[in-house]
């Protein structure tokens, strides 16, 4: 596959852009592979890419029910950050951030990583203390964080409603290295990198069951395009993890919930980075195209519908108007919903399953996009070496049984509150 | 979504608080059921894609606990009953 470069772009421009080749191969399924990844989203494709690149395992297929990047990889709000406070999370998300920082050079693909800063607003002494603690935990782990006072926030975002009656802004926690990336480009970039190294990307291929060997271990998958043999199968199907696991007779500590997101008409640049108003269920950034991309909480009830209900639309817009009244005249262009794997502690799972040969990458709640590179890296490590990657060693499936939860929000086994 | 509360009538779902799948049953005595029973009840879910029964609390209404039969794929609610009468 040709490397993308300024010279290639110029050559293609001079030839009228008629010589561009497809970015990656849309492959038909073969009878068997060493390894099958189920789910052609960012996580599945990143896993295949790192399997081929880092571990030299290239006899791999990624099977996708629809088209690649058509699920949650295409429905998120594109935020990247590593501002986590708990052991088990901080190092993992920082590893992801480091991979983001080198991703474009690594993939030779413009994923539009833009480190424009992520600012979490706080509105009370208690919330500021919690932010100070989280910021300190980050700094102890080598992740830069700044605790801003009211004036510090005002310098960054003077348009906020600082004296809003119920939630006056007291300050904020800023991670300058956080920001946004182009979600579709991430999918295509990983697909291209994996495809280049021999990975088959098979679309319109829904897994309908697992093939089991006589000893009960996994021997492949049954799909709508026939049986595909494999020594190992990795699930990267967040949103539908329970459905896939049920085909192998497993129950997971996961509920599927719907999260809505919104985009306004395109405006001139007004929002400098990512701003979150957690107390009011609202967060926002501005895309390079100019649209305000924002969202809030999950709807709160189990759903596989990929669409939400109006009360949350109202709640999110109220949150936006409360903290950022200037956006009130902007017109909402679109809203959509994605199905999230909500775990019982709000943290993901990258682990073996009790079924030999079946591996699980699941439970990304509403925060999977930022984790895409490290999730792929660590899942590939697990699949290749049969042992967890050190930065993902806490994301075990049995942590719920053993009481080793990673509950950033501290709300317990109540998935709709995480 | 609208929920037809047996006591208040047809109301917006916004008035209700969601408490999740009604299928898990609390072990009668936590001590007697062993770790497995508690683990199963607290953490594991069938998480069905399709019809399920779930608890809703009418917080901004009659404050009854309800059980609704709802489809997680379509959001259609086919039946609602008071939870105190048992999960149908």
- Mark A74-92 as b/e (b = at least 16 C-beta within 10 Å): bbbbbbbbbbbbbebbbbb
SS3 A202: strand
Q: How many angstroms separate the CA atoms of B43 and A252, rounded?
A: 8
Contact at CB, B44 and A415, closer than 8 angstroms? no
A8's tokens = 């290639």
Find chain A residues with C-beta within 8 A of B43's C-beta. Answer: 253, 344, 400-401, 413
Query: How many Å apart are CA A217 and CA A34, to the nearest integer?
Result: 14
Q: What angle do CA A9, A103, A286 make, to 5 degrees?
A: 85
B69 vs A: CB within 8 A: no
Which token pair is B75?
């959001």
* pTM as predicted: 0.96
User: Shortest Cα distance from A255 to chain B (angstroms)?
Assistant: 5
Q: Which residues contact A154 (CB under 8 A, 6 or more apart)?
A: A160, A162
Contact yes or no for B47 and A400 at CB 8 A: no
CA distance A201 to A21: 16
Of the pLDDT bands very low, low, confident and very high (cuts 50, 70, 90), residue B2 is very high
pLDDT classification of A237: cutoffs 50, 70, 90? very high
Count CB-CB contacts under 10 A for residue A323: 26
Counting residues of chain A whose pLDDT is more than 70, the rounded percentage is: 100
Query: Among A399, A283, A273, A415, which residue's Cα sits nearest to residue A342?
Result: A415
Q: What is the mean pLDDT of chain A?
A: 96
From the CA of A365, how many Å to the nearest CA of chain B? 14
- Which ipTM did the prediction report? 0.94
Q: What mean pLDDT do residues A253-262 have?
A: 97
CB contact under 8 Å between A311 and B42, yes or no, is no
From chain B, the residues in CB contact with A401 under 8 A are 35, 39, 43
Output the six-digit token pair for A29. 């399924």
Helix (H, G, I), strand (E, B) or coil at A188: helix
In angstroms, rounded to a whole number, what is the distance separating the alpha carbons of residues A191 and A187? 6
Is the CB of residue A415 less than 8 Å away from at least one CB of chain B? Answer: yes
Give per-residue pLDDT as tens, A141-158: 999 999 999 999 999 999
How far is A109 from B49, CA to CA, in rounded Å?
37
DSSP for A82-106 reads: ----STTTHHHHHHHHHHHHTHHHH
- Asked if B23 has any chain A CB less than 8 Å from its own CB, the reply is no
Q: Is the pLDDT of residue A353 over 80?
A: yes
CA distances from B67 to A59, A257, B41, B57, B71 (A): 49, 19, 18, 9, 13
Give pLDDT tens digits for A357-415.
999 999 999 999 999 999 999 999 999 999 999 999 999 999 999 999 999 999 999 99
- Rounded Cα distance between A97 and B13, Å, is 39
Backbone angles phi, psi at A55, to 5 degrees: -110, -5
Tokens of A120: 């979490």
Domain tally for chain B? 1
Question: Confidence class of residue A218 from pLDDT cuts 50, 70 and 90?
Answer: very high
Residue B40 domain boundaries: 2-85
Dist. CA A397–CA B40, nearest whole Å: 13
Predicted pLDDT at B26 = 86
CATH code assigned at B49: 3.30.2270.10
Q: Which class for B25: exposed (0-12), middle (13-18), buried (19 or more C-beta within 10 A)? A: exposed
């Amino acid at each position: 596959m040709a490397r993308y470069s300024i010279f290639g772009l110029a050559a293609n421009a001079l030839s009228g852009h008629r010589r561009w080749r497809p970015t990656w191969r849309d492959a038909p399924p073969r009878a068997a592979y060493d390894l099958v990844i189920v789910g052609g989203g960012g996580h599945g494709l990143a896993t295949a890419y790192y399997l081929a690149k880092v571990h030299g395992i290239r006899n791999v297929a990624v099977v996708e029910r629809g088209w690649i990047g058509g699920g949650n990889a295409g429905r998120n709000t594109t935020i990247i950050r590593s501002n986590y406070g708990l052991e088990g999370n901080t190092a993992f998300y920082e590893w992801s951030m480091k991979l983001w920082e080198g991703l474009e050079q690594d993939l030779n693909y413009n994923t539009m990583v833009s480190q424009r800063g992520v600012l979490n607003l706080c509105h009370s002494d208690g919330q500021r203390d919690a932010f100070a603690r989280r910021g300190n935990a980050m700094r102890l782990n080598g992740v830069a964080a700044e605790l801003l006072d009211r004036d510090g926030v005002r310098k960054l975002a003077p348009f906020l409603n600082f004296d809003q009656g119920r939630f006056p802004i007291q300050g904020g926690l800023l991670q300058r290295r956080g920001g946004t990336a182009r979600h579709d480009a991430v999918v295509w970039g990983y697909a291209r990198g994996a495809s280049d190294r021999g990975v088959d990307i098979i679309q319109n291929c829904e897994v309908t069951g697992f093939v089991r060997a006589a000893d009960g271990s996994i021997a492949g998958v049954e799909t709508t395009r026939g049986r595909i043999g494999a020594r190992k199968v990795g699930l990267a199907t967040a949103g539908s993890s329970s459905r896939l696991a049920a085909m192998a007779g497993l129950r997971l500590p996961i509920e599927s919930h719907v999260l809505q997101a919104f985009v306004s008409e395109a405006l001139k640049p007004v929002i400098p980075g990512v701003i979150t108003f957690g107390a009011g269920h609202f967060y926002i950034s501005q895309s390079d195209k100019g649209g305000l991309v924002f969202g809030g909480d999950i709807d709160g009830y189990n759903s596989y519908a990929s669409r939400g209900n109006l009360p949350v639309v109202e709640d999110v817009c109220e949150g936006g108007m409360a903290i950022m009244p200037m956006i009130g005249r902007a017109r909402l262009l679109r809203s959509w919903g994605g199905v999230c794997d909500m775990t019982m502690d709000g943290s993901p799972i990258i682990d073996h399953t009790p079924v030999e040969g079946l591996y699980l990458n699941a439970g990304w709640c509403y925060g999977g996009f930022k984790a895409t590179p490290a999730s792929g890296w660590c899942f590939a490590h697990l699949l290749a070496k049969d042992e967890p990657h050190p930065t993902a060693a806490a994301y075990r499936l049995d942590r719920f049984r053993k009481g080793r939860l990673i509950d950033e929000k501290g709300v317990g086994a109540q998935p709709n509150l995480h | 979504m609208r929920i037809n509360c047996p006591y208040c009538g047809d109301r917006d779902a916004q008035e209700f608080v969601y408490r999740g799948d009604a299928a898990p049953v609390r072990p009668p005595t936590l001590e007697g059921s062993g770790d497995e029973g508690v683990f199963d009840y607290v953490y594991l879910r069938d998480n069905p894609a399709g019809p399920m029964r779930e608890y809703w609390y009418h917080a901004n209404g009659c404050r009854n606990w309800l059980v609704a039969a709802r489809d997680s794929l379509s959001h259609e609610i086919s039946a609602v009953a008071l939870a105190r009468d048992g999960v149908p």
